[in-house]
Amino acid sequence: MSASDPDLSGYAEAARRVSAGDAGDGCTATSGPFGAGHYDDLDGLPDAAVRVSLGCGNPVAVADLRRGDTVLDLGAGGGIDVLLSARRVGSTGFAYGLDATVEMVELARRSAAEAGATNVEFLHGTMERIPLPDATVDVVISNCVIVLSGDKDATFGEIARVLRPGGRVGISDIVRVHPDDRTPTAVTCGDAAITVDAYEDALRRVGLTTVRVELTDPIGAGLSNAIIRAATPSVTIRAVPEASTPRSVKS
């Protein structure tokens, strides 16, 4: 997997232009299988958070959030999924949003203040080095952002690190289903997409279980939107040192 840094300038520009209602920059468009059209519970959300939505699904629904959960949204953008998560987890839960673009973090914080959300926090940082301690959250969500990671192995490792035992993963993302067949596509980050098998293998390598990838909308160029679910084991399993392993005794 490539270790190159993604170009996030389109997302910064989208945040700056949201007041003009033209946020269709970045990896994806804001129509068709992208944007806020995946949601049916947007009442009361700040207009800016909705209009800057650039995702390819609804990870809040995918993740089966529960009252009291602590949630982390990777690539939170303008904050739409964080604000929806905060509603679902209630006053006893909490929602973090992480974004690598300063302009998006600032926009999300303004949206949270406008919405009166007190159980949220937006962090500036990268998904390859999440600025949270180990075993901090119950659920990790992400909406069409992991495809942008320049080091997906590091990202998946960080997801596993911050999840508590029994934690869940609910991701909407772009995956490669076939080689590029040159059919038209609305996305510009297809070269960074990995295959379904590679996605599943990478999640299992970091210790996640019950990994499932469900294809949703084909988007051209051999790519598809997808829903990815996984979990951490409910109990941490540690390897037994060889020296302490009982040896059989001959009678």
Q: Is residue 205 part of a domain?
A: yes
For the segment 91-102, what is each residue's pLDDT rounded down to a tens digit? 999 999 999 989
Q: Is residue 2 part of a domain?
A: no
Residue 36 burial (CB count, 10 A): 18
User: Residue 11: CB partners within 8 Å, gap ≥ 6?
Assistant: 25, 26, 54, 77, 101, 103, 104
Q: Where are the beta strands (DSSP E) in the chain?
A: 70-74, 94-99, 120-124, 137-143, 163-176, 209-220, 223-231
Contact between 80 and 38 (Cβ < 8 Å) = no
Give the CA diameter of the chain. Answer: 83
Q: Is residue 213 part of a domain?
A: yes
189 vs 206: CA distance, rounded Å: 24
pLDDT at 235: 72
Place of tokens 């990202």: 155
For the segment 166-188, what is each residue's pLDDT rounded down to a tens digit? 999 999 999 999 999 899 988 88
Q: Is residue 247 part of a domain?
A: no
Give alpha helix (H) positions in 90-175: 102-115, 152-162
184 vs 182: CA distance, rounded Å: 6
Task: Indicate the residue type of 88.
Answer: R
**What's the distance, CA 199 to chain centroid?**
13
pLDDT at 120: 98
pLDDT at 154: 98
**CA-wise closest residue to 194 among 148, 154, 135, 142:** 148
pLDDT at 32: 53
What percent of the chain clears pLDDT 70, i.e. is strictly above it? Answer: 73
Q: Is residue 43 part of a domain?
A: yes
pLDDT at 42: 63
**What is the reported pTM?**
0.82
CATH of the domain at 102: 3.40.50.150
Domain span including residue 47: 9-233
Burial 41-59 (b: 16+ CB within 10 A, else e): eeeebbebbbbbbbbbbbb
For the segment 36-55, what is each residue's pLDDT rounded down to a tens digit? 545 566 667 767 666 666 66
Q: Is residue 4 part of a domain?
A: no
Q: What is the mean pLDDT of residues 205-222?
A: 95
Q: Is residue 241 part of a domain?
A: no
Please state the domain count of the chain: 1
Residue 70: pLDDT above 80? Answer: yes
Q: Is residue 72 part of a domain?
A: yes
